[in-house]
Amino acid sequence: MSEKVLTKRFEISGYRGTIEEYLATGGYQAIPRALKEYSPESLIDLVRRSGLRGRGGAGFPTGVKWGFVPKDPTLTKYLVCNADESEPGTFKDRDLITRDPHQLLEGIILASYAIGCRTAYIYLRGEFVAGAVIMEQAIQDAAAHGFLGNNILGSGFNLKVHLHRGAGAYICGEETALLESLEGKRGLPRLKPPFPASAGLYRLPTVVNNVETLCNLPHIVLRGAEWFSSIGSPKSTGNRIFSVSGHVRRPGNYELPMDVPMRELIFQHAGGMRGDRRLKAVIPGGSSVPVLTEQHLDTRMDFESLAKAGSMAGSGGVMVMDDSTCMVRAGEIVARFYHHESCGQCTQCREGTAWLHKTLRRIEAGRGRKVDMDLLMDICDNMKGKTICPLSDAAAMPIESYLKYFGDEFEQHIVERACPFGSGGGS
Amino acid sequence: MRDASTISLTIDSRPTMVPQGTTLLDAARSLRIAIPTLCQVPSLPAQPGCRVCLVQVAQDGAVHLRTACSTPVTEGMEVLTEAEEAVNARTFVLEMLLADHPVDCLPEERGGRCELHALAKRHHLFSGSRFARQRAPFPIDDSHPLIRMDLNRCILCRRCVRACGEIQGHHVLGIAERGDRSVVIADDGKPLGESTCVSCGECVAYCPTGALAEKGPAWNEEVGAHQAITTICPYCGCGCQLDLHVKDGQVVTVGSNFDGPANRGSLCAKGRFGFQFIHSPDRLTMPLILEGSGFREATWEEALDLVAAGLREIAARHGADAIGVAASAKATNEENYLLQKLARAVLGTNNVDHCARLCHAPTGTALLSAFGSPAGTNSFADLEEAEALLVVGSNTTEQHPIAALPMKRLVARGVPLIVIDPRRIELARLATVHLAIRPGTDLAVLNGMAHVILEEGLWDRTFVQDRTEGFEAMQETARRYPPEVAASIAGIDPELLRRAARLYATRRPASIYYTMGVTQHTSGHQTVLALANLALLTGNLGKPGAGINPLRGQNNVQGACDMGALPDALPGYQSLDDPNVRERFESVWGRPVPKRPGLALTQILGRERQGAIRGLYLVGENALLAEPDMTETEAVLRSLDLLVVQDLFLTETARLAHVVLPAASFAEKDGTFTNTERRVQRIRKAVEPPGQAMADWQIVCALSRRLGTPMMYGHPGEIMAEIARLVPIYGGISYDRLESVSLQWPCPHRDHPGTPVLYANRFPRGRGRFHPVEWLPPDEVPDSDFPFVLTTGRTLFQYHTGTMSRRSDGLHLLEPEPYIEVNPIDADRLGAREGQKVAVVTRRGQIVAKTRVEAGTPPGVIFTTFHFSEAPANRLTNPALDPVALIPEFKVCAARLEPLNG
């Protein structure tokens, strides 16, 4: 059994994540340590050596991202914690925020110190009402204890943290749309380059890090880069929290080494298939990634292995479907989501998400036409790699994979003019 | 020569070299390869949402699709604009857009302008989209008097939203909802006509499909091919280039011309929608002669013979100086040149002036004293480089909307804006510091600012030492205006005054813009000197982003001044006293040039000198409504032996004339206008004048023949050639050159590129001169009988005495009637409700108009405009003149308000 790091305190009975509890369990020890033992540059180097990669979806190496921030001390820099967790099937950040908010704050303080940031923002998903209350309290308590504010622990380092609540748009989890939204504008993704590290919030150097990414920092500072990189695979180091949902016996968050095999995750930790039905499909990294099947069960969950299997590690949301599932219906639901969430900026995505949804809906309702499968493939093909942000790809790739692995099922819908699973209700 | 900043690449296998930073789109354009675009706004950073400009880019072995509008070129790129993958991607986008695009939009060859239609044709997409319509039809929004919004045509390219927000700074249009439910809305979803839209029509200019279009035929009917004639807007002095679209001899619409150097395609409501006066049924088509109590139509021969005989008789009886000529800031340079030549060389008098007397006469007198040249120093383009901006007495967003665009862009990027104005105008709302002064106290405030700058050592010692004179005397005077004193005169907080001074003096370069709020006072000349003092003190002259810039009120008021339509200067501000100058003019004109300076317009039409002028030739000027104290003006006009009015319409003034001559409008003639930036630009004939109307220059030539000194020109270009010979600042200007460029004077010779920024190295008078200037209260201040200060001005949708704007239906609908702005506190006290009729009474008369309760107008002040003959503001105004510039004090007189029932 591997050691839990990020969710270790969740197991303490009655732990509510107050600052007293956090302090009593070794919390906030990384800050004096970092302020004393590390210069900002050496802290960046530590994180680079740890191999920590972003847990939001793209898996970019955190230390490298920090290294892109200009060192010019006269430039204002911002750290933004992306807590807009909205990827369907993903619910790990919500737990980290509500159950151990100070772990996140400690990570934010460390990251801010490393990049020279004096004002940090937490962009919190609007629906996380409880999280907002908890986080506000945590910020106040941390300030009262001298971990935030001016001259933190007598080091001369100042930091303010502001909580900003989103207003319910999935696209604001995309970092540049998030920054637009944080500036008070419509959440439309920006053209990159420039990347946020050079021109982010208010066009100033900005690092945007995911909640889970930041939560790893105190542990890396306290236990070292070598300890961290010894967990997982060489390129996917550390633990990751997998949010397992769907037709398993014990859905929930599981913190495991990055390279845990999918079979172990589903059948051991999540308790296996509900009712011992046959596993039909697994979405391994949130709704945006291509689906995998039974044949991929021995794939490990690290970035490289999943990519090799034709999917992505994404946000760690593992959705498991058994053989009672209609894959057309599943595709329709995913397509409905992206149709609803496309910002509308790029034509392919704005119109394409609508047409994917519409076409899938009619196939599922038994009104599909022979040409519709080609049409779906053509729409998907034209949505990929041609837009400002990856939402369009995220909408197209899963549907493509459903067609790839479950094309027969689609055909059956069209030929039989009905859903063989009897679920053609439409949405 | 090749250097590091040049990039070489191939596009469609053709090698090319372009400067670093060029986009693929522009690089392709330079090879005449047209990559389609739908969302691109050339003047703004790319936001490549439409994805139509995708091209295939190969570099370092990797092949990608890239949006050409947003991708900068890099060394060694191989670009294929028509690669199969790119064309497929593009076609897919078009197919998606066409699914929801109605087929009733018109293709180019039938007079439509739908860019989607044109692209679809290019990509052979009319066999039908695989996608069916999925949007429910939108009702057409017809609520705006000028703009029709048909969202069924909208392709969500967002060009309108960006034009409205990022170019014009209005931020009225936006997108609501998201994804395929996205929809363009005004404000928070109001009908366009009820929104805060200011009708500039920038959205119309940028809309590729006619979803936002001007009402009328352009987008909505088959109109066939138009001819577009590039010319200059006839309203204010911004000098906006525009295209008149002509069909069957009629101007059918005004289009943006994105090459316009002053406006880069932007226009305001007047420029875009104020053209219908050209074809108004009210246009004069025949000369008119007063007979008995009415006019009768006459032939040109008869009318001109009568005018010539009348003028000759007056000259014979009373001398040439009993004749006055009023030239016109609406007429061309060539025409103004001929009018002053007519006065001087044909009639033999210097009694020639024009309406600059009523607007920027103090600018002329004061800037000439301070620098040796009477014009604004900088250009709109270099305003973008300013680090601070001081705007005094200018409601720029309404009076010079296009000059306000770079100002709003400065504010958007955080540059401090200081506004000195009694009213809380739009710019004041955007300002870092707004000094809401009592009308007529600007001079005290400017002296107070000089005081702070001196006291806090914020002045530019090097500049003052190297390039100025008269510092000590100015310093002496400024000492008497500590912020507390100046602020108490102006009724403002001294701390705000200090802040304004510090912002202006410490952020460099800093630019000054001003208009009538400064000049239309009995202290106008002195106040402009005070502005010049500030610019000299801080070294804000001779560089981009700095300077002192009067915004000119009429399309060619700068040119009319340049052309010597002034009683005390020959063309090009050359001295009447200088024998060498006189000799040159006399040798070209072949006639003596009278030496004695003539009378100013305000003297000609003022009671004081009534009788000195017996005959007046008034061109393009509605003096009765424009001059102060209408009762007095009317008495003087009626007392003349001969009044000749030459105009487009039978104006209120023309009704008092003995002879009325029908003139051609700007759209019916060739010539040049000089804008507020000293930019000389060509205007071009687009349509024929109505009936027998003729261009002013032709009328003047015809009249000169009858007066015995014929002026013969075949084309205005020949007149410009004569101007270039005699006027050094126009020396290098010719129609040949103006065909392709505009030129900012001074442009002394044919190879000179013109001068965007004046005084880089020296002032025309040598050193810049400081002047000690003392504040004096306005001529007429409130008392118990007349407790309010009445101040007058213009509104966005109307123009001057309304002769043009009130005959343009669209503008008239937007601001149809006169109004009196009253602060809510005063309105409450007097019991005047919004919309209630109220009488404004001054010592000179009264007018009646509806009350507009307006918190932006301060307590104790009332405001009205002078556009409306049914409530003529100048029945009220005080004709007291500035002693130097001879401008009347339009901006302050004492008044009382009497609410009426009903």
Tens of pLDDT along B228-251? 899 999 999 999 999 999 988 999
**Is B51 in Cβ contact with A386 (below 8 Å)?**
yes
Q: How far is A108 from chain B, CA to nearest CA, in Å?
A: 30
Could you tell me if residue A422 is inside a domain?
no
**Looking at CA atoms only, how far is residue A334 from chain B in angstroms?**
15
* DSSP string covering A91-140: -HHHHHHHH-HHHHHHHHHHHHHHHT-SEEEEEE-TT-HHHHHHHHHHHH
Superfamily name with CATH number, domain B361-550: Dimethylsulfoxide Reductase, domain 2 (3.40.228.10)
CB of A16 within 8 Å of a chain B CB? The answer is: no
Question: pLDDT confidence of B384, banded at 50, 70, 90?
Answer: very high
Residue A288 placed within a domain: yes
Domain boundary pick from A229, A263, A293? A229
Same domain, A59 and A169: yes
Q: Which residue of B has its CA nearest to A371?
A: B130
Q: Is A421 inside any structural domain?
A: no
Please indicate if any CB of chain B lies within 8 Å of the CB of A278: no
pLDDT band at A424 (very low <50, low <70, confident <90, very high): very low
**SS3 of A135-165:** HHHHHHHHHHCCCCECCHHHCCCCEEEEEEE
Residue to mutate among B96, B134, B135, B184, with most A CBs inside 10 A, is B96
Residue A245 sits in the same domain as residue A219: no
Q: What is the DSSP letter of B502?
A: H
Q: How many CB pairs under 8 A join A and B?
A: 80
Q: Do A345 and B65 touch (CB under 8 A)?
A: no
Beta pairing, strands B173-176 & B183-186: antiparallel
Chosen domain end from A322, A337, A368: A322
pLDDT for the residue numbered A85:
97
Contacting residues of B for A387, CB less than 8 Å apart: 51
CATH of the domain at A253: 3.10.20.600
Find chain B residues with C-beta within 8 A of A180's C-beta: none
List, by residue range, all CATH 3.30.70.20 domains of chain B.
131-279
pLDDT confidence band for B577 (50 / 70 / 90): very high
CB contacts, 8 Å: B54 with chain A:
386
Output the pLDDT for position B109: 46
Which has the closest alpha carbon to B607: B632, B638, B639? Answer: B632
Mean pLDDT (whole number) for B353-364:
92
Contact A353 B97 (CB under 8 A): no
DSSP, collapsed to helix, strand or coil, labels residue A185 as: coil
Distance CA B253, CA A21 (A): 74
Name every residue in B having a CB less than 8 A away from some CB of A: 46-52, 54, 64-65, 70, 88-89, 92-93, 96-97, 99, 130-131, 134, 155-156, 158, 174-175, 177-182
How confident is residue B110, by pLDDT bands cut at 50, 70 and 90? very low
Helix (H, G, I), strand (E, B), or coil: what is residue B74? coil
Q: Is the pLDDT of residue B1 over 50?
A: no
What local confidence, expressed as pLDDT, does residue A426 receive?
40
In one-letter notation, the amino acid at residue B551 is: L
| Shortest Cα–Cα distance, B157 to chain A (Å) | 8
Q: Which amino acid is at A256?
A: L
B65: which chain A residues are within 8 Å (Cβ-Cβ)? 385-386
Count of domains forming chain A: 3
Same-domain pairing of A259 and A291: yes
CA-nearest residue of chain B to A355?
A: B131
Q: Do A382 and B88 touch (CB under 8 A)?
A: yes
| Contacts of residue A408, Cβ cutoff 8 Å, sequence gap at least 6 | none
The A residues from 347 to 366 touching B (CB cutoff 8 Å) are 347-348, 350-355, 358
CB-closest option in A344, A378, A386 to B179 = A344
The verdict on A382 touching B (C-beta cutoff 8 Å) is: yes
A33, burial (CB in 10 Å: exposed 0-12, middle 13-18, buried 19+): middle
**What CA–CA distance (Å, rounded) separates B157 from B174?**
12
Residue A59 belongs to a domain: yes
Closest CA to B428 of B401, B458, B396, B454: B396
Residues A276 and A332 in one domain: no
Beta carbons of B51 and A355 less than 8 Å apart: no
For B288-354+559-738, give the CATH class: alpha beta
Angstrom distance (rounded) from CA B511 to CA B685: 36
Closest residue by Cα to residue B769 from B550, B504, B518, B467: B467
What is the rounded average pLDDT of the residues B203-208? 92
The Cα B587–Cα B770 span in angstroms is: 38
Share of chain B above pLDDT 90, in %: 84
CA triple A243-A247-A253, angle to 5 deg:
15
Strands (E), B688-842: 743-744, 768-769, 788-793, 819-822, 837-842
A387 at the B interface (CB within 8 A)? yes
Tell me, yes or no, whether A15 lies in a domain. yes
Structure tokens at B573: 């501000």
| A386, A388, A391, best to mutate vs chain B, most B CBs in 10 Å | A386
What mean pLDDT comes out for the span B278-288?
96
What's the whole-number average pLDDT of chain A?
96
Q: What tens digit of pLDDT does each residue of B678-722 get?
A: 999 999 999 999 999 999 999 999 999 999 999 999 999 999 999
- A chain contacts of residue B50, beta-carbon cutoff 8 Å: 346-347
Packed helices B84-99 and A372-383: angle between N→C axes, nearest 10 degrees: 110
Which tens digits make up the pLDDT trace of A363-384? 999 999 999 999 999 999 999 9
Task: Find chain A residues with C-beta within 8 A of B180's C-beta.
Answer: 339, 342, 344, 350-351, 353-354
Q: What is the pLDDT of residues B116-153, one digit of tens each?
A: 888 888 887 765 667 777 778 899 999 999 999 999 88
Looking at the fold, whether A225 and A246 belong to one and the same domain comes out as no
Q: Sign (positive/negative) of CA torsion B476, B482, B483, B486?
A: negative
Assess contact for A138 and A100: CB atoms under 8 A. Answer: no
| Cα distances (angstroms) measured from residue B471 to each of A335, B86, B486 | 75, 67, 20
CA nearest B51: which of B93, B80, B88, B101? Answer: B93
Chain B nearest CA to A281, separation (Å) = 29
Q: Does domain B788-899 have CATH number 2.40.40.20?
A: yes
Contact B65 A344 (CB under 8 A): no
Is residue B659 classed as helix, strand or coil in its secondary structure? strand
DSSP class of B101: S
User: Chain A residue with minimal CA distance to B180?
Assistant: A350
177-216 in chain A: CB under 8 A from chain B: 186, 191
Q: Is A236 a residue whose pLDDT tops 60?
A: yes
Residue B592: pLDDT above 50?
yes
Check if A328 contacts B (Cβ < 8 Å): no
Residue A53 Cα, gap to closest chain B Cα (Å): 26
Chain A partners within 8 Å of B64 (Cβ): 385
Q: Are residues A125 and A263 in the same domain?
A: no
Is A221 found in the same domain as A344? Answer: no
Q: Which of A175, A197, A229 is the last residue of a domain?
A: A229
> Across the interface, do B181 and A343 touch by the CB < 8 Å criterion?
no
CB contact under 8 A, B92 and A378: yes
Residues A270 and A366 in one domain: no
> Can you say how many angstroms the Cα of residue B145 is from the centroid of all Cα atoms in its chain?
23
Question: What pLDDT, on a 0 to 100 scale, did the predictor assign at position B103?
Answer: 62
Q: Find the residue in A nearest to B182 (Cα).
A: A344
Interface test with chain B among A350, A357, A379, by most B beta carbons within 10 Å: A350
Do A347 and B93 make contact, defined as CB atoms within 8 angstroms? yes
Domain hosting residue A46, numbered range? 8-229
CATH architecture of B6-99: Roll (3.10)
Q: Give the CATH class of B131-279.
A: alpha beta
Query: What is the spatial distance between Cα A366 and Cα A279, in angstroms, rounded to a whole number?
Result: 25
- Shortest distance, CA A380 to any CA of chain B (angstroms): 11
Our CA-based measurement puts residue B138 at a distance from the nearest CA of chain A, in whole angstroms, of 17
Of all residues in chain B, the one with the smallest CA distance to A372 is B130
**CA-closest candidate to residue A379, choices B131, B87, B52:** B131
H or E element that contains B245: strand B241-247
User: Contacts of residue B96 in chain A, CB cutoff 8 Å?
Assistant: 347-348, 351-352, 355
| Phi, psi (rounded to 5 degrees) for A146 | 80, 15
Calculate how close chain B gets to A422, using CA atoms only, in Å. Answer: 27
For residues A337 and A289, membership in a common domain is answered with: no
This complex has an ipTM of 0.91
Residue B128: the pLDDT is 62
For residue A351, give the nearest of B47, B54, B180 by CB distance. B180
- How far B189 CA lies from chain A's nearest CA (Å)? 16
- Which one, of B210, B245, B224, lies nearest residue B109 by Cα? B224
pLDDT mean over A84-107: 97
User: In sequence order, what are the residues at sequence separation of 6 or more whose Cβ sits closer than 8 angstroms to the Cβ of residue B56?
Assistant: B63, B64, B65, B66, B79, B80, B81, B83, B85, B86
Using DSSP, state whether A304 is helix, strand or coil.
helix
Helix (H) or strand (E) holding B671: strand B671-674
A39 and A181 inside one domain:
yes
Residue A425 confidence class, pLDDT cut points 50, 70, 90: very low
CB contact under 8 Å between A186 and B47, yes or no, is: no
Q: Position B862: which residue type?
A: I
Same domain? A384 vs A349: yes
B65 and A386 within 8 Å at the Cβ level: the answer is: yes
- At B404, which amino acid appears? A
| Residue closest to B531 by CA, chosen among B423, B435, B390 | B390
B537–chain A nearest CA distance, Å: 31
**Which of B151, B173, B178, B188 to mutate to probe the A interface, most A CBs <10 Å?**
B178
pLDDT tens-digit map of A42-90 = 999 999 999 999 999 889 999 999 999 999 999 999 999 999 999 999 9
Contact residues on chain A for B69, CB-CB shorter than 8 A: none
Per-residue pLDDT reduced to its tens digit, B754-766: 999 999 999 999 9
A213/A245 same-domain check: no
CATH 3.40.50.740 in chain B is located at 288-354+559-738
What pLDDT score does B606 carry?
Answer: 86
Q: What is the pLDDT of residues B534-571, one digit of tens each?
A: 999 999 999 999 999 999 999 999 999 999 999 999 99
Helix (H) or strand (E) holding B500: helix B494-506
Long-range contact set of residues A69-77: C-beta below 8 Å, sequence gap at least 24: A69/A115, A69/A116, A69/A197, A69/A205, A69/A207, A70/A198, A70/A205, A71/A116, A73/A116, A75/A204, A75/A205, A76/A118, A76/A119, A76/A202, A76/A204, A76/A205, A77/A115, A77/A116, A77/A117, A77/A118, A77/A204, A77/A205, A77/A206, A77/A207
What SS3 class is residue A275? helix
A159 phi and psi angles, rounded to 5 deg: -155, 135
pLDDT band at A1 (very low <50, low <70, confident <90, very high): low
